[in-house]
Amino acid sequence: MTAAIETKSRLRIGPYPVDPPVVLAPMAGITNVAFRTLCREFGSATSIYVCEMITARAVVERNEKTLHMMSFGPEEKPRSMQLYGVDPATIGEAVRVIVGEGWADHIDLNLGCPVPKVTRLGGGAALPYKRRLFEAIVRAMVSAAEPAGIPITVKFRIGIDDEHTTYLDAGRIAEAEGAAAVALHARTAAQRYSGEADWSAIARLKEAVTTIPVLGNGDIFAAADAVAMISETGCDGVVVGRGCLGRPWLFAELQAALRGEPVPAGPDLGRVGEILYRHADLLADHYGEDRGLRDLRKHMAWYLMGFPVGADLRRRFATVATLTELQDLIGELDPTAPFPPDAEGPRGRQGSPGKVSLPHGWLDDPEDAAVPTAADVMHSGG
């Protein structure tokens, strides 16, 4: 059982109350409608579950793959979407399309991606360094969304590296331009997902941004982590990413902890098998059985992390091809195996810190509002 505090959430994202104050972070290739549905089944209907990142240009071009990625379940409210873009005109047009088609109720701006193929073009976590460009993007999004009452939020990192921090300026600019909330992943782009998140930066951002909610992100792997982050930083809510990989029940634990209720124990292996099958069934419904089961394979190691499952059985789980085969494999698990206490730590990619790939001369002028060349042409939907 984990520590709990009673917090009556006052968090609102635009018109939407968020109680408990928990947001599922958008994760490429992970937070499709199937995974969001699963997390929502464990968590609160009034938390927020964000669709995986969508590129603004793909929306404008009505890319077929992207439109499928933008699928939402009938029970999802608000329908939360994250956009990536670097051109104020393109991202503003994407928001107008989304508003006009009624595709989303909340739009988040991705400025936290540290992946080299994104930052070397001036996108993701590199972009907030260009203060005026960042300002223009938020202004364009808010202007396009405001008539429909759709809130715009912004997620960013501490900065490019320790010598080029941007988060305080980013928070103030987003606040001034009408964003409904900001979220800070308390790492630099140079850290990627390595090391420890610097929660003290969340506290400093909360002090700097005073009229809109500030959410914290980074190293929430258990309910106690969320309780500690809110207590230590004063943030208005938490954004959960890698901590829920293979652990959608984390949202039940977060809900209990943040409402001052007893935190449920982790599931035994029998229950994990049931959850795994439910995930597979949802993916098969979304993608079709063949693609859905292929998509599930990347989740297998996360679901089975720490449990006594032999190497051969793990290998067969990692190559499963049908729902029937999955059911048979689940039948080979020991349903009485308890949830392993060491399975609550980091999961997913961590990598190593490294120099951030940037366009030539990117750091020369932080006030430059020029749109990076070619950074907005990615239209794969991710």
Q: Has 3 been labeled as part of a binding site? A: no
Residue 355 lies in a domain: no
0.85 surpassed by pTM: yes
Q: Residue 184 domain-assigned? A: yes
The residues that are catalytic are 113
Out of 234, 258, 282, a domain closes at 258
Same-domain status, 220 and 296: no
Number of domains in the chain: 2
In a domain, 64, yes or no: yes
178 is in an annotated binding site: no
| Domain harbouring 38, CATH code | 3.20.20.70
Report whether 327 belongs to an annotated binding site.
no
Helix/strand/coil for 377: coil
CA angle 240–246–247, rounded 5-degree value: 55
Which residue, 204, 227, 258, sits at the end of a domain?
258
φ, ψ (nearest 5 deg) of residue 165: -85, 145
CA dist 378 and 165 (Å) reads: 26
Indicate the average pLDDT of the chain.
94
* pLDDT tens string 120-153: 999 999 999 999 999 999 999 999 999 999 999 9
Residues 137 and 55 in one domain: yes
Do both 204 and 101 map to the same domain?
A: yes
pLDDT of 213: 98
Indicate whether 186 and 162 sit together in one domain: yes
Give the residue numbers spanning the domain of 192: 14-258
Which residues make Cβ contacts (< 8 Å) with residue 61, sequence separation at least 6?
A: 379
Q: Are residues 100 and 177 in the same domain?
A: yes
Q: By C-alpha distance, which of 53, 163, 148 is closest to 105?
A: 148
Q: Please tell me the predicted confidence (pLDDT) of residue 353.
A: 85
Q: Would residue 118 count as lying in a domain?
A: yes
Over 60: is that where the pLDDT of 3 sits? no
Identify whether 351 is part of a domain.
Answer: no
Distance from chain centroid for Cα 254: 16
- Co-location of 92 and 233 in the same domain: yes
Q: Is residue 309 part of a domain?
A: yes
**Residues 244, 323 within the same domain:** no
Residue 17 is labelled as binding a ligand: no
Question: So what's the pLDDT on residue 344?
Answer: 74
Share of the chain above pLDDT 90, in %: 91
Name residues whose C-beta falls within 8 Å of residue 104's C-beta, 6 or more positions apart in sequence: 51, 70, 72, 78, 79, 80, 81, 98, 150
CATH code: domain of residue 275 = 1.10.1200
Spell 111-122 as b/e; 16+ CB within 10 A means b.
Answer: bbbbebebbbbb
Instruction: Please give the average per-residue pLDDT across 236-250, as a whole number.
Output: 97
Chain-centroid distance of CA 311 in Å reads 31
Q: Give the DSSP H/E element, type plus range, for residue 84.
A: strand 80-84
**Residue 9 pLDDT greater than 80, yes or no:** no
Asked whether residue 368 is domain-assigned, the answer is no
Residues 65-92, mean pLDDT to the nearest whole number: 96
Any bridge partners for residue 55, and if so which? 84
pLDDT tens sequence across 156-169: 999 999 999 999 99
Identify whether 278 is part of a domain: yes
Whether 117 and 239 share a structural domain:
yes
- For the segment 208-222, the average pLDDT, to the nearest whole number, is 97
Please tell me whether 291 is known to bind a ligand. Answer: no
In Å, how far from its chain's centre is CA 88? 22
CB contact set of 212 (below 8 Å; sequence gap of 6+): 174, 175, 179, 180, 181, 182
Give me the half-sphere count of Cα atoms (radius 13 Å) on the Cβ side of residue 197: 26
pLDDT-derived band at 2 (thresholds 50, 70, 90) equals: very low
Do residues 104 and 167 both lie within one domain? Answer: yes
Cβ-in-10-Å burial (0-12, 13-18, 19+) of 292 comes to buried
Same domain, 138 and 205: yes
The CA distance from 252 to 41, in Å, is 9
- Mean local confidence (pLDDT), 223-241: 98
Which residues does 268 contact at the CB level (< 8 Å), separation at least 6? Answer: 335, 336, 337, 338, 339
